[in-house]
Structure 1
Amino acid sequence: MKNNFLLAITLILLSFLSCSSDNQIDEPNPPTNLSISGVIFGADTNNPNGDGSGVVDFTITATNATSYKVLINNETLELTQNTFSYTFTQGGTNNYEIIVAAYNSSGNTSVTYSLSVYVKTELALIWQDEFDANGAPNSANWGYNTGTGDNGWGNNESQYYTDRLDNAKVENGVLKITAKKESFGGSEYTSARLITAGKFEFTYGRVDVRAKLPAGGGVWPAIWMLGANFGSVGWPACGEIDIMEYVGNNPGQISSALHTTSSSGNTVNHKVTSISNETTEFHIYSAIWTESSITFLLDDVEYYTYNPSTKNNDTWPFYNNQFLILNIAMGGNLGGTIDPNFDVSTMEIDYVRVYQ
């Protein structure tokens, strides 16, 4: 009898183990094939970092994932769905690293994703000249560099800069800087170079200049900025920000550039972009200067950002005040050959505005 009882217990135990084995739920493998992608709202060829809204739509893909955690801009999001939207708010163009982890009951895996997003910010107008009063440019805003390249700006230019109304005057709501073919001070051409040095200098902000450019082979108009410490540290250590340069011998394009100790003169830090009707219509030439980058825009469309990976005095002298410069050079290293039939040409400037 005892042996029969033991046999019965053994059969019941074997039956339980068999049933338990047959009904066991297999645990899934930890998530695999994890990735995340982001679509920046308003991004296109001209605005690769978006339209300034800061909105990005993200999609996560993974195999065997049941939930997700996302570390984004120092925030942690816990998700069960694989799509979400996020709005970045830090002004300017900024780089972000996003960490996403996928989970199931067996474990988790993670990846890192990088992207750059542009965010427009509300700026306050801190300085402007609307050129509403006819006559000489407002002396509270503008001074002059006068003379020739022998005075220190070089570039083998051919003009003599004057402070005459013939070369710089306000008329009918615009500033007119005029380059002329005439003998003056030993030069064959005259022009004007207006500066805000000692009158208005600033660090960081946005500059907008609405202008119509001069035409003619050899003209070299520029809208630019120079470090206010130019007199003590010299060029290029002071840093130069060329918002817009135009060469009459190369119609249909403008350029922007940065000159630093690490890259000056024929600098590698520059970009050329196309433009149309530049000598017959007004366009807005802009620069957005922040603590970490300088971005250039044509008619509010971004086309070049300078943001060196290593910032030191050689690559980034742009942490001191700069002043504004408006001028037309003739010939020189960039302007090139002057058309022998050149007589006179004018750059018209509707306004200069600085925001912070």
Structure 2
Amino acid sequence: MKYITGMMLALLISTASCGKNEKAPPAKTAPTNLTLHVVVNTDNSGAVAFTAAANNAVSYDYDFGNGINKTVANGITNYTYPGSGTYTVKVTAKSADGLTLSKSADVTVTIASGLVWSDDFNTDGAPDPAKWGYDIGTGDNGWGNAESQYYTDRSKNVSIANGILKITAMKENYSGSAYTSARILTRDKFAFTYGKVEVSAKLPAGGGTWPAIWMLGSNITTAGWPACGEIDIMEHKGNEPNKIYGTVHHPNHAGANADGGTVMVQNETTVFHKYTVDWSPALLRFYVDDQLFYTFPNSGNVPFNHDFFVILNFAMGGHFGGAIDPAFNSASLEIDYVRVYKN
């Protein structure tokens, strides 16, 4: 009995001793006293310098308020905004233990407007090959909408004379199609993110005509359509005289389900009108002759925050153009100029 009691006593003493030697896990360290200092460059370039500092921080995550993010170790970074606007910048300091502390600030930048690209079509002949390329063929190439034309690079379909670019659709049998026309584009030659595009144009008349001034996301080969985004600055149906369409296509809002608006314009086939989109991180605004007719809210959730290229074309029929007038023989989309400004 004494032996058993001694063993039990020793066990109790050992257990108590072990309990005293156990240590609680150390408390995790969080960042404290986070500050954010912002300096906007006064040259209206959109450049901004950011300096964040916090106790116990080992890295800083920046959200520049336009879908762009960056992580830096010392809290110091620079970013140049591509468009004017007010952005809510958020910086998150992170400690070695993974704890975080955040701070936000509104940053307003103004970028001076300036002409960054243009074509006034002042040289007779073919479009400038340094600025324009061609899509050749039919919609079977993957970019058609059941249209009836065959796109060529022939001078009878696309040419410049007396300061005017003419894209001409003609009724003729050509490579299995009943009509020919042209589609020119700045792909791989010029692309941009945010800005104002102005095009002075006189539109063709006739049932089934479908001229368009528009843009596609430069990442179309990797992202596909409509994930790349599409901005239709101007579309017109000869079957709906005087009605001008401004439209954006993006995932879940493409084709007949796209977002857009219309405006009625007189004499669109007999005089030149100015067709404009003003594209910023916040909005896409569509105008005819400086009259605003549609506004689309831009955000990081839609594909309108990367480079786009410009397209000019004249289609016949298709899902949008509709029935072609049997009496149609030829007509031209006439372009006086294309100008791109940075905001």
TM-score between the two structures when normalised by the length of structure 1: 0.65
The answer on whether the counterparts of 2:85 and 2:282 sit within 8 Å (CA) in structure 1 is no
**After superposition, what is the alpha-carbon deviation per residue over 1:233-255, rounded to whole angstroms, capped at 9, x for unaligned?**
10000000000000000001110
C-alpha spacing 1:136/1:268, structure 2 compared with 1 (3 Å):
closer
**After superposition, what is the alpha-carbon deviation per residue over 1:89-146, rounded to whole angstroms, capped at 9, x for unaligned?**
xx98999xxxxxxxxxxxxxxxxxxxxxxxx985100000000000000000000001
Matched to 1:302, the amino acid is: L
Residue 222 of structure 2 corresponds to residue 232 of structure 1: yes
TM-fit CA distance, 1:154: 2.3
Matched to 1:353, the amino acid is: R
Matched to 1:303, the amino acid is: F
Unmatched 5+ stretches in structure 2: 1-82, 88-109
For the residue of structure 1 that corresponds to 2:256, the secondary structure is coil
Residue 260 of structure 2 corresponds to residue 270 of structure 1: yes
Q: 1:124 aligns with which of 82, 94, 114?
A: 114
Question: Which residue of structure 1 lines up, in the alignment, with residue 334 of structure 2?
Answer: 348
In the alignment, the residues of structure 1 paired with residue 278 and residue 85 of structure 2 have an alpha-carbon distance, to the nearest angstrom, of 10
The answer on whether the counterparts of 1:196 and 1:325 sit within 8 Å (CA) in structure 2 is yes
Residue 306 of structure 2 corresponds to residue 320 of structure 1: yes
Matched to 1:146, the amino acid is: I
For the residue of structure 2 that corresponds to 1:255, the secondary structure is strand
In the alignment, the residues of structure 2 paired with residue 222 and residue 171 of structure 1 have an alpha-carbon distance, to the nearest angstrom, of 20
Matched to 2:194, the amino acid is: Y
**After superposition, what is the alpha-carbon deviation per residue over 1:243-299, rounded to whole angstroms, capped at 9, x for unaligned?**
000000000111010000130111341101100000000000000000121000100
Unmatched 5+ stretches in structure 1: 1-90, 96-119
For the residue of structure 2 that corresponds to 1:266, the secondary structure is helix
Residue 146 of structure 2 corresponds to residue 156 of structure 1: yes
In the alignment, the residues of structure 1 paired with residue 315 and residue 153 of structure 2 have an alpha-carbon distance, to the nearest angstrom, of 14
Question: Which residue of structure 2 lines up, in the alignment, with residue 295 of structure 1?
Answer: 285
The answer on whether the counterparts of 1:259 and 1:265 sit within 8 Å (CA) in structure 2 is yes
The answer on whether the counterparts of 1:225 and 1:323 sit within 8 Å (CA) in structure 2 is yes
TM-fit CA distance, 1:337: 0.2
Q: 1:332 aligns with which of 313, 318, 323?
A: 318
Matched to 1:160, the amino acid is: Y
Task: State how many pairs are aligned.
Answer: 238
Question: Which residue of structure 2 lines up, in the alignment, with residue 79 of structure 1?
Answer: none
The answer on whether the counterparts of 2:132 and 2:184 sit within 8 Å (CA) in structure 1 is yes
In the alignment, the residues of structure 2 paired with residue 274 and residue 92 of structure 1 have an alpha-carbon distance, to the nearest angstrom, of 30
Question: Which residue of structure 2 lines up, in the alignment, with residue 253 of structure 1?
Answer: 243
The answer on whether the counterparts of 1:257 and 1:267 sit within 8 Å (CA) in structure 2 is no
**After superposition, what is the alpha-carbon deviation per residue over 1:157-204, rounded to whole angstroms, capped at 9, x for unaligned?**
000000110100001100000000000010000000000000000000
In the alignment, the residues of structure 1 paired with residue 150 and residue 129 of structure 2 have an alpha-carbon distance, to the nearest angstrom, of 20
* Percent identity (aligned): 54
The answer on whether the counterparts of 2:213 and 2:234 sit within 8 Å (CA) in structure 1 is yes
C-alpha spacing 1:220/1:94, structure 2 compared with 1 (3 Å):
farther
The answer on whether the counterparts of 1:258 and 1:267 sit within 8 Å (CA) in structure 2 is no
Q: 2:191 aligns with which of 201, 205, 209?
A: 201
